[in-house]
Amino acid sequence: MSAELLRIEDLHVSFSTRGGLVQAVRGVSLDVMAGATLGVVGESGSGKSVTAYAVTRLLDRAGRVTGGQILFRGRDITRASAGEMQGLRGDYIAMVFQNPRAALNPIRSIGRQLMDALAVGGDRSRAALRAAALELLHAVLIRDPKQRFDAFPHEMSGGMCQRVMIAMAIAREPALLIADEPTTGLDVTTQKTVMDLLARLTAERQMAMILITHDLGLAAQYCGEVAVMQQGEVVERAPAARLFRSPQHAYTRRLVAASPTPRSTVAELVGAPPSLPFVPPEQPSGTPALLEVQNLTKRYGDVLAVDDVSFSLRAGESLGLVGESGSGKSTISRLICRLIDSSGGDVLFRGEDIGGLPARDFHASRYRREIQIVFQDPHESLNPRFSAFDCIAHPARRLTGITDGAALRSLVEECADRVGLERGLLSRFPHQLSGGQKARVGIARAIAVKPRLLVLDEPTAALDVSVQAVILKLLDDLRRDEGLAYLFVSHDLNVVRMMCERTIVLRHGRIVEQGDSDALFANPGDDYTRQLLAAIPHFDPEAAGGYSRRVPRTRGS
């Protein structure tokens, strides 16, 4: 039964770049049995995607297999001709990509695209193709397949697009499905439906699956075996349960520790000694809250992005805003930073109404300095033409009034030290910095002007889990030392629980539930919160027990 389907032996892949030859994959050996599921886990640059692209021979032109073999049913793919490869792809090996919207043809209806995929190599009639395409849409749980048949990709949500991609991939019943970060960029609840679907389809049709992901929990939950990659090498491979319960390799241990679970603390993520629970400083009675939001509303055309939201935040406190895409959490953070104008409601800062000032003029307000923001994508939020130094120095010069070059330099260097950015890196441009370094620049920029309220808009969403752990620890320390108040926006409930004393759950622009973080996660009062919690993939069964419901293993390991 369990015949060997794919065997990768000592695979080497190199990319020729301006800096010379870069070895992306260095001696990877893996094998996949027919019908089995293998998770390949690693951080960016680990070579996990390159390995997959080598198997399907979709490496871009700069990349080349420089050594080793990829045997599919005993035949070496690296030596197959382009024509043979064409037949192999789709019929035997299919791939599901990370960004479904980009992988689908935007000007062809999804039904047509499915028919195209089905038509290759066969001579079935149009009616038969259409019937088969409808059946596939049905199989991937698209509601009303007949009506959806003529829909275009832009008319569908990200999760639906990914289901169509999956339908295309399984159209010709391949023996091996390679899913490259299939749910990255999707909401947790959508991720769960897509992954459950993938697991069910591959099990029903006896397809083998290679799941490439950066998410340990996802791999643990959906794969029998997991291989961990680091810098182009497989450092550890074991059945999922064993790998996460007793990781052998130092890197795997670090990765497992850095992944937030329902019980971990910020200190545990980086292996630091536990820090005391943080208690925000007591304010003398009668002090107005640092931030008071009353009946805040934001309307875009007919859509209510933020619908009657009220909450308050004391000095030194950390408040989490969680929700899926479209919940209005980013809009709220921009409203509070006064980057956009509200359609109604008040924003009071230290008792003063700042919501009345138009966003256009807020840059000149004295509160501009006190409310700062750290953006989601550290790369996208740094001016490509500014060095790291200028990125930090510019707002500091504007808002603190320091114009003296030497004073400014020492301020910037102090902030760089504070966020753990080497001073030598200050002269570099954003594209010359790693994701973690860019995140540090973004944080240094915000704290350089000594704000009282820091809005963190998904500050770690674009980072690898080990980098995320370090940045979260940094943010936690900063808050303790500087007495900053945080409004922490995130889609990751585990992160919010660790970072915030109180949490607000948002859905469709409305507050679903709010309260003390630990209590809220232990005993969610609303069904939606429970759904969100249940959808988070876990690798730690014990910790997962901390939540009210445990997600069943889809496939045994």
Partner 1 sequence: MSATLHHAGWVLRSNPVTAIAAAGMLVLLALGVFAPWVMPYNPIASDVAIALQAPSAAHWAGTDQLGRDIFSRLIAATRLDLAIAASAVGISFVAGAVIGSFCGYRGGRLDRAVGRVVDVLMAFPLFVLAMAMVAALGNRVENIVIATAVINLPFYIRFARAEVNVRRDAGWVEAARAGGEGHLSVVLRFLLPNILPSMAVQISLNLGWAILNAAGLSFLGLGVVAPTPEWGIMVAEGARFISAGQWWLVGFPGLALMLAVLCFNLLGDGLRDILDPRMRT
Using CB under 8 A as the criterion, which residues of the chain lie in contact with partner 1 when the complex forms?
18-19, 334, 337, 339, 360, 363-364, 368-369, 371-373, 375-377, 380-385, 394-395, 398-399, 429, 431-432, 442, 445-446, 449
Comparison of 143 and 360: residue with beta carbon closer to partner 1: 360
Minimal distance, residue 480 CB to partner 1, in Å: 23
For 502-514, the three-class secondary structure string (H helix, E strand, C coil) is EEEEEECCEEEEE
Q: Which is nearer to partner 1, 342 or 372 (CB)?
A: 372
Q: How many other C-beta atoms lie within 10 A of the C-beta of residue 141?
A: 17
Nearer to partner 1, 141 or 340 (CB): 340
Q: How far is the CB of 489 from partner 1 (least distance, A)?
A: 14
Q: What are phi and psi of 218, to 5 degrees?
A: -60, -45
One-letter amino acid for residue 95 of the chain: M
Pair of tokens at residue 116:
């195209």
70 φ, ψ to 5°? -125, 105
To partner 1, the closest distance from the beta carbon of 486 in angstroms equals: 15
Nearer to partner 1, 192 or 445 (CB): 445
- What is the 8-class DSSP label of residue 276? P
Give the ranges where 141-212 is alpha helix by DSSP (H). 145-148, 158-170, 188-204
268 close to 274: Cβ distance less than 8 angstroms:
yes
Give least dist CB 442 to partner 1, A.
Answer: 8
Amino acid of residue 55: V
Closest CA relative to residue 291, chosen from 313, 309, 308 = 313
Using DSSP, state whether 411 is helix, strand or coil. Answer: helix
Name the amino acid, one letter, at 327.
S
Q: Is the dihedral of CA 346, 347, 353, 355 positive or negative?
A: negative
In angstroms, give the least distance from the CB of 220 to partner 1: 33
Identify which of residues 254 and 334 has a Cβ nearer to partner 1 in the complex.
334
Q: Which is nearer to partner 1, 19 or 274 (CB)?
A: 19
What's the closest the beta carbon of residue 329 comes to partner 1, in angstroms? 15
Torsion from C-alpha of 88, 89, 94, 95, nearest 10 degrees: 140
CA-based Rg of the chain, rounded to a whole angstrom? 25
Contact 54, 64 (CB under 8 A): no
Residue 461 in 3-state DSSP? coil
Is the CB of 445 or the CB of 538 nearer to partner 1? 445
Q: Which is nearer to partner 1, 191 or 376 (CB)?
A: 376
Nearest-approach distance from CB 391 to partner 1, in angstroms? 8
Q: CB atoms < 10 A from the CB of 516, how many?
A: 12
Nearest distance from C-beta of residue 373 to partner 1, angstroms: 5
Separation of alpha carbons 39 and 179, rounded Å: 10
How far apart (Å, rounded) are the C-alpha atoms in residues 219 and 538?
A: 9
Nearest one of 29, 60, 55 to 232, comparing CA atoms: 29
**How far is the CA of 340 from the CAs of 306, 331, 350, in angstroms?**
12, 8, 20
Which amino acid is located at 19 in the chain?
G
Please, which residue, 104 or 399, has the CB nearer to partner 1? 399
Residue number with CB closer to partner 1 (252 or 460): 460
Yes or no: say if 419 and 454 are a contact pair by the CB < 8 Å rule: no
Which residue, 249 or 428, has its beta carbon nearer to partner 1? 428
Smallest gap from residue 111 Cβ to partner 1 (A): 32
Handedness of CA 352, 355, 357, 361 (dihedral sign): positive
Cα separation, 169 vs 159, whole angstroms: 15
**Tokens describing residue 253:** 């241990």
Q: Between residues 337 and 484, which has the closer beta carbon with respect to partner 1? A: 337
Decide: 119 and 127 in contact? Cβ < 8 Å. no
**DSSP E strands: which ranges in 62-141?**
63-72, 75-76, 93-96
Distance separating alpha carbons of residues 307 and 298, to the nearest angstrom? 7
Q: Cβ of residue 429: shortest distance to partner 1, in angstroms? A: 5
CA distances from 67 to 26, 160, 551 (A): 9, 39, 41
Instruction: Please state the closest distance from residue 465 (CB atom) to partner 1, in A.
Output: 22
Closer residue to partner 1, CB minimum distance, 435 or 537? 435
**At closest approach, how far in Å is the CB of 377 from partner 1?**
6
Shortest Å, Cβ 338 to partner 1: 9
Question: At closest approach, how far in Å is the CB of 510 from partner 1?
Answer: 25
Residue with smaller CB distance to partner 1, 92 or 362: 362
